[in-house]
Amino acid sequence: TGVGKTEVARRLADLAEAPFIKVEATKFTEVGYVGRDVESIIRD
């Protein structure tokens, strides 16, 4: 909602020298339901 949550996460990942991956969570489903499962976030 425009308060900077993503930017904070991005900068923390940068400070920790860790990868930052932003995905639209509404495109994923729990395993067993129609749609892409959450585990595919890492594979993609």
Q: Identify whether the C-beta of residue 41 lies closer than 8 Å to the C-beta of residue 23.
A: yes
pLDDT of residue 15: 98
**Which positions ≥6 away from 4 have C-beta within 8 Å?**
none
* 1-44 residue pLDDT tens: 688 999 999 999 999 999 998 877 776 666 666 666 667 666 76
DSSP state, residue 33: S
